[in-house]
Amino acid sequence: MKMYKYFFTVALGLSILGCSDLGENPLSQLEPHERSVDLETVETTMAGAYGHLSARAFLSRALGLTLMLRSDMVAIGNPTTAAERIEHDHFTVSPTNPLILNPANPERSFWPRLYQIVRGANETLRELEVLEEQDPGVKEELIARARFIRGFAYYHLVRLFGDIPYLDETTTTGDASVAPRTAVETVYQNIIVDFQYAKEWLPDSRANRALPGKAAASAFLASVYLTRGEYQMAHTEATDIISKAGMYSLALEPDYRNIFHAEKTDFSLEPIFVIDFVGTNVNDESRDYLAAFTGFYGQATYYPSGGWSVAVPSQAVFDTWEDGDYRKDVNFDDEALDNNGNIIPYTSFSSLDGRNANRPHIAKYTAMAGDKPQANTSGRDSHSNYQLMRYAEVLLIAAEAAAELGNGGEAAQYINMIRERARNGDGTGAPSAVPADISTATVADVLEERRLELAFEHQRWYDIVRRKMGPEVFGPNGLEADLPSKNFDPGRDYLLPIPPLEITNNPNLTQNPGY
């Protein structure tokens, strides 16, 4: 897995762009029909598309921070951190927010990066049109891989921005530069078609979960249906995966901690689709920045340089999580080891460095990075795996859909499977009594289980958006009520602004309401 991912990082370095608009120069100066295209060419182009997943502009930094800080699970710790991050936490986002698009460094922003993924997938599909006939199924599998990653990128874009320009393999550079915003409904229909094709032609299972298999396409289909409120379709898709767990080589990892262990996760059956970091710095791109952003300054718990105390849960996130739930232990650091070997409680983290928030910090990313000797520079050069989809989420999709369809007993069964794993801890001692099984589950029960089970895995903001929970979770009874005032506006903040530079360059683009 690690060697293949290194190939991704090389391709990533070859495909960084220097401009931001959607009418960027094509990947090659020649169209595929004007040059020689073989299987190696296609694989290189494909690797370039997938390589963007490990870039700092995606979940490792720009988009990852945005999704975490906009949720009710993570807030700003260090108040001196960059304003571009504070804007997302406080819902005061400027249309020119650099995390979305920084014209000076577009490769570090997630709007152009997501479209680079799309462009790499489309270029792959154009190359496949002229690729000489391969053995049966080879070409279809390559098409499926390209369409999967295109659907994946658009699934992020449509949830972040709403109506967006939709570009496919037939879109010319000239057409892209004037592409209008495509309606959300149409974008979703195209995403569904891409994932359906991928589900048909991808292999049942892969040892390397950094590449999608059939289960990944099916799981994201289920997620799309859930997001759209098509609960019967979501239920059918998710339960089909559950019934084929053996065929797809899927199961809950017995020890929840191992899912977030840099080495052990490679042998787990729970991951379905992951970003696999390799401890290799390519132009400051393929690095695990969340280890640094979620760690605390001046400590040696994992590595001497410590972190930056930027993305830190509110105190209520920690306090309201039931003691005895093993997942709480895995998700939080509530004490630190300083460089002199002293144990420091979270109430005194600022004694290590005044920029530290005196609150429990997120442990998932720092712990993953610390598993490797290469995890230096605040943990950025790590071998972490980010979970983009795992089997527990499939169970929770099935549970939420079942609850919506009026079958609370079935929903509870899926939740109880996850809770049993949590009670068993690392399997070495007597099971905990927490979290207890339930006999029936409501939609609210499932959403709460998602909040805990998938904590800090970039899912909570999307749950808040699709369920329109903003006024509730950011209100006086929310988890962040004791922090600086949130300026959440439901008429504005479920979507991000379209970058003004794109609107300037493309006369057919318009801005989202409130910006």
pLDDT over threshold 90, residue 132: no
Q: Is residue 354 part of a domain?
A: yes
In a shared domain, residues 126 and 15? yes
Does any domain span residue 186? Answer: no
| Residue 270 belongs to a domain | no
Q: Which pLDDT score, from 0 to 100, does residue 36 have?
A: 75
Structural domain includes residue 441:
no
Q: What is the mean pLDDT of residues 183-203?
A: 98
Do 134 and 33 lie in one domain? The reply is yes
> Where would I find the beta strands (DSSP E) of 44-160?
75-76
- Which of 366, 383, 400 lies at the terminal end of a domain, its last residue? 383
What number of other Cβ atoms are within 10 A of residue 9's Cβ? Answer: 20
Q: Which residues pair with 333 in a beta bridge?
A: 361
52 in any annotated domain: yes
Q: Is residue 315 part of a domain?
A: yes
Residue 414 maps to a domain: no
Answer yes or no: do 373 and 505 share one domain.
no
User: Do residues 476 and 368 share a domain?
Assistant: no
Do residue 135 and residue 14 come from a single domain?
yes
Q: Which of 332, 352, 383 is the last residue of a domain?
A: 383
* Same structural domain, 18 and 109: yes
CA 380 to the chain's CA centroid: 17
- For residues 378 and 502, state if they share a domain: no
Residue 295 belongs to some domain of the structure:
yes
Of 329, 359, 383, at which residue does a domain stop?
383
Q: What is the pLDDT of residues 155-175, one digit of tens each?
A: 999 999 999 999 999 998 889
Q: What is the CATH number of the domain that holds 128?
A: 1.25.40.390
pTM above 0.85, yes or no: yes
Number of folded domains in the chain?
2
What are the Cα distances from residue 395, in Å, to 41, 238, 423, 437?
A: 38, 7, 17, 15
Domain range for 310 is 289-383
Asked if pLDDT for residue 140 goes beyond 70, the answer is: yes
Residues 6+ apart with CB under 8 A from 91: 70, 474, 486, 487, 488, 489, 493
| pLDDT tens, position by position, 31-54 | 665 567 888 899 999 999 999 999
| Whole-number pLDDT of residue 32 | 63
> Which residues, at least 6 apart from 477, have a Cβ–Cβ distance to it below 8 Å?
none
Residues 349 and 459 in one domain: no
**Model confidence pLDDT, tens digit, residues 338-348:** 878 899 999 99
Co-location of 379 and 463 in the same domain: no
Average pLDDT over residues 57-72: 97
Tokens of 239: 């339960």
